[in-house]
């Protein structure tokens, strides 16, 4: 564990949150401090750009590389257990992608428990569609479109990519999964998803699918391991000590078995 992870684990142990909203308030500041340190230079950043789906509004931060473009496009879905985080907590990571030459759409999808499943999934699919339609507005090339995310964001990435696999307009060329949560049926069997114990994992899962857990736990939009064959070329990144390593191996095995 890094020093920052040790500090977080100790803080959560000594100050267990009473509910998902308290956990969000507790962690967002911690993550923001880490996520905004040492930002690299990029071409431009447009924060809180409104996405209006016709029935629901949410926002995206757009980070533009230096240079003239056209740039390959990355839609990024941040982690946070479906209940917390933001484009601001993952700002440095998004800036790193922009520094490397990608036009980044860093999505602020809706959270549980206020907006349980399928809100975050619906927003993720809508965000990819919106980014493909508006990439050229920021010198992006929608014909070179990738989608990525970490942890819960990796879950949403895989589900959204599967949902759009046969879309006549959106053509996702690649997927990036950073320690993605891919199978809710085995989540309880894993080591806790984050410092603080099983209680926090239960809080996240319950907030997202607790309203219909028995039916949703194997729904492919919640557990996209069941539609692994629909994913485009996918880069899977997960540390061997990460509790989600089994999901990463299961995905690799599913694809290799086809």
Instruction: Return the SS3 of 58.
Output: strand
Query: What global pTM score does this model have?
Result: 0.91
- pLDDT value for 22: 84
User: How far apart are alpha carbons 132 and 241 in whole angstroms?
Assistant: 35
Give the helix ranges, DSSP H, for the chain.
3-14, 20-35, 91-99, 119-134, 152-163, 198-209, 213-216, 245-256
10-residue block means of pLDDT along the chain (258 residues)?
Answer: 59 77 80 77 97 87 96 97 93 96 98 96 97 98 98 98 97 98 80 56 91 95 97 96 92 70
DSSP state of 26: H
The CATH code belonging to domain 3-256 is 3.40.50.1820
- pLDDT value for 6: 62
Six token digits for residue 65 = 């590389």
Other beta carbons within 10 angstroms of residue 166's beta carbon come to 8
Other beta carbons within 10 angstroms of residue 160's beta carbon come to 31
Nearest to 150 by CA among 255, 237, 37, 25: 237
Exposed/middle/buried for residue 50 (C-beta within 10 Å: 0-12, 13-18, 19+) = exposed
- pLDDT value for 258: 46
Side-chain-side CA neighbours of 179 within 13 Å: the count stands at 15
Six token digits for residue 92 = 């440095």
């Amino acid at each position: 564990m890094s020093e920052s992870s040790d500090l977080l684990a100790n803080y959560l142990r000594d100050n267990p949150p009473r509910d998902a909203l308290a956990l969000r308030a507790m962690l967002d500041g911690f993550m923001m401090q880490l996520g905004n340190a040492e930002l690299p230079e990029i071409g431009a950043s447009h924060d809180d750009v409104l996405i209006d789906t016709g029935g629901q509004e949410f926002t995206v931060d757009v980070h533009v590389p230096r240079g003239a473009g056209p740039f390959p496009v990355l839609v990024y879905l941040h982690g946070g257990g479906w209940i917390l985080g933001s484009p601001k907590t993952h700002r440095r990571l998004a800036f790193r992608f922009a520094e490397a030459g990608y036009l980044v759409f860093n999505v602020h999808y809706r959270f549980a428990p206020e907006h349980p499943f399928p809100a975050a999934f619906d927003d993720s699919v809508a965000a990819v569609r919106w980014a493909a339609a508006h990439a050229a507005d920021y010198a992006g090339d929608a014909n070179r479109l990738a989608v990525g995310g970490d942890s819960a964001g990796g879950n949403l990435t895989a589900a959204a990519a599967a949902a759009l696999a046969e879309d006549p307009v959106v053509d996702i060329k690649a997927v990036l999964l950073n320690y993605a949560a891919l199978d809710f049926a085995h989540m309880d069997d894993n080591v806790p998803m984050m410092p603080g114990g099983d209680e926090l994992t239960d809080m996240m899962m319950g907030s997202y699918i607790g309203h219909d857990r028995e039916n949703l736990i194997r729904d492919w939009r919640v557990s996209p391991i069941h539609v692994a064959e629909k994913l485009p070329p996918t880069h899977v990144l997960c540390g061997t000590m990460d509790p989600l390593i089994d999901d990463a191996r299961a995905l690799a095995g599913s694809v290799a078995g086809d």
